[in-house]
Amino acid sequence: MRNTKGVLIGLLSVVLIVTIFSFLGQAQEKIYIPVISKGFQHQFWQAVKLGTEQAAAEFGVEITFEGPESEAQVDKQIDMLQAALSKNPDAICLAALDSKAVIPLLEQAQAANIPVVGFDSGVDSDIPVATAATDNIAAAALAADKMAELIGGEGEIAVIVHDQTSRTGIDRRDGFVDRIKEAYPKIKIVDVQYGGGDHLRSTDLAKAIMMAHPNLKGFFGGNEGSAIGVLNAVIEMNMEGKIVVIGYDSGKPQMDAIRSGVMAGAVTQNPIGIGYEAVKAAYLAVKGEKLEKTIDTGFYWFDKDNIDAEHIKPLLYD
């Protein structure tokens, strides 16, 4: 009897040890993917974060989501990317603030066989295995068409975008400016400025442009912070209804301004979809799946006529 008990206890001990090591092995095998965004200061990035969390839960991966306080802090984002690489992750998701400055670190990732997935903003390199983003050139061209329609095809307009270093800043500027130049010869772009995605700085820039160009008929703000800055400037200078304001992204201030008529409309991306597709692509890359280089997450024009439409509401965030 004692021998039987001893055997049973021994067997149970072996089973317990095997179970513990199996559990530890599974815990260690969980895929880790750091997600490095452009920042946190806009509601847009909170919506992107929600999408990354949805994908992480669906695919059973561990993620971290971080970004600098300001979209002007390129050096800080590079430090974050360096720190993420030092943890030897399974893959990395990156929305680059500077499409060229990050390339040396992406080369390190490639050398270490760490797949890189771009999201929102690509880089000037073939290293990313995929990039989940809006077609920003086409989206900004749509904003240009709407601007031309709303100002009657002629007059002076201005542009504020977040930067001239990220792929999104460059593409939104060029998509808008090039479309105006190609299709609307009677419209003159009098100024293009860069507000770093900061609404206070963008407000000051917009006010200066409006004072320098009293005949201004329209203003395009190329991201959430830029658009809110333009909106604030128009309100502070009592130019509501006199200057057509078109934005990019959504968020409560823009949604409220569109409902009230101060902002004519905006192009919205699919921020939750951007975050979701980035983490999904990183997971598939770790698993060795072949990916499309570009994952187009879509865009839509919204104004007071369709802001509550069923296909638009999921893309807006407040």
Q: Is the pLDDT of residue 17 over 70?
A: no
Q: CA-to-CA distance for 263 and 249, rounded, in angstroms?
A: 13
- Is the pLDDT assigned to residue 147 strictly greater than 80? yes
pLDDT in tens, 35-58: 999 988 788 999 999 999 999 999
Structure-block tokens of residue 183: 């299709």
- Please state, as a whole number, how many other Cβ atoms lie within 10 Å of the Cβ of residue 41: 18
Could you tell me the domains of the chain?
Answer: 31-134+271-298 (3.40.50.2300), 136-268 (3.40.50.2300)
Residue 318 tokens read as 């407040």
CA separation (Å) from 24 to 11, 16, 20, 31, 59? 20, 12, 6, 14, 19
Q: What average pLDDT does the chain have? A: 92
Model pTM score: 0.84
**74-86 vs 103-111: helix crossing angle, rounded to 10:** 10
Looking up tokens 């695919």 gives 59
Q: Decide: residue 166, CB within 10 A, 0-12 exposed, 13-18 middle, 19+ buried.
A: buried
Q: How many angstroms separate the CA atoms of 60 and 58, rounded?
A: 6
CA distances to 35, 116, 117, 205, 264 from 96, rounded to whole Å, are 11, 11, 11, 24, 30
Contact assessment for residue 273 and residue 298, using Cβ atoms and an 8 Å cutoff? yes
Residue 24 pLDDT > 50, yes or no? no
End-to-end CA distance of the chain: 70
CB 74 within 8 A of CB 165: yes
27 — pLDDT class (breaks 50, 70, 90)? very low
Poorest-pLDDT segment among 8-12, 123-127, 187-191: 8-12
Those residues whose C-beta lies under 8 Å from the C-beta of residue 56, and which sit 6 or more positions away, are 33, 62, 63, 279
pLDDT in tens, 91-105: 999 999 999 999 999
Per the structure block, which two tokens stand in for 144? Answer: 């240009």
281-302: average pLDDT: 97
Give the separation between CA 184 and CA 242, rounded to whole angstroms: 20
How confident is residue 317, by pLDDT bands cut at 50, 70 and 90? confident
pLDDT score at 178: 98
Asked if residue 261 has pLDDT above 70, the reply is yes
Q: Do 266 and 302 touch, CB atoms closer than 8 A?
A: yes
What integer is the mean pLDDT of 6-12?
48
Q: Identify the three-state secondary structure at position 93.
A: strand
pLDDT of 263 over the 80 cut = yes
Helices 224-236 and 199-212 cross at an angle (nearest 10°) of 50
pLDDT tens for each residue of 53-88? 999 999 999 999 999 998 889 999 999 999 999 999
Please give the pLDDT value at position 20.
46
Length of the chain: 318
pLDDT at 26: 47
**Is pLDDT of 266 > 90?**
yes
| Residue ranges with strand state E in 205-305 | 216-221, 244-248, 265-268, 294-296, 300-302
